[in-house]
Amino acid sequence: MHISIITLFPEMFSGVFSASIVKRAIEKGKLDITFVNLRDFASDAYGSVDDHPYGGGTGMVLRVDVIDRALQHTRSLVKNSTQRAILMTPQGETYTQHKARQLSTVDHLIILCGHYEGVDERARALVDEEISIGDYVLTGGEIPAMVLTDSVARLLPDVLAKPDATINESFENNMLEYPHYTRPERYGKASVPAVLLSGNHKKIMKWREEKALERTQKRRPDLLLKARKDLA
């Protein structure tokens, strides 16, 4: 898989992508990441990528012509591939594990990081979809792009040491994950549930299913409602 990130601040990614799962995916040859500096596509000597909004208002807006040139260049980087261009914006569809799995099958994922007050409205027609990582506002799309990259990278084949490691995670099948325990067996007044020490895998599986349902009902009942709607 190839991920191209269009950003004004490529230096923000160096620490995050040089460790853990993303680093492992790159080292295994499962993932290539290219950074495209939006400022390289400015049309003046100052490298201007934004301007004041028509009609007045606070903040600056990223220019559609600059974005268009950057996207055209980025699309040409990977030939004969399935491509998906995404704008990271608070106005986009809320990101989910289901969406991460969909994106993990794309050959070339292009992530456009919004910034300042946003993008010229006409730029929205240049991407395939818009994604938000939550109902809050960040300074730019760089951190959301890191989130999306990490979530997709760990789903690529052979990246994780155990192939089935992602199957029972939170948000798979619209459920939160069951509780986990490890040594010490007793800590303070809290002990590991006896069923997990029993060696009875059938009982353990049943306990985990019950706890996952219990946790989801308590913390994220909206997920269960979504599951029922999906089945309807």
Class of CATH domain 2-153: alpha beta
What is the CATH code of the structural domain delimited by 172-231?
1.10.1270.20
Output the CA torsion 199→205→209→210 (10° steps): -40
> What predicted TM-score, i.e. pTM, was given to this entire model?
0.88
Q: What are the sequence ranges of the domains in the chain?
A: 2-153, 172-231
1-48: pLDDT as tens digits: 999 999 999 999 999 999 999 999 999 999 999 999 999 999 999 999
Helices 221-231 and 201-219 cross at an angle (nearest 10°) of: 100
Say how far apart CA 4 and CA 81 lie, in whole Å.
13
pLDDT in tens, 168-213: 566 677 899 999 999 999 999 999 999 999 999 999 999 999 999 9
Q: Contact at 8 Å (CB) between 216 and 169?
A: no
Q: Which of 34, 21, 47 is nearest to 100 (CA)?
A: 21
Judged on CB neighbours under 10 Å (0-12, 13-18, 19+), 26 is: middle
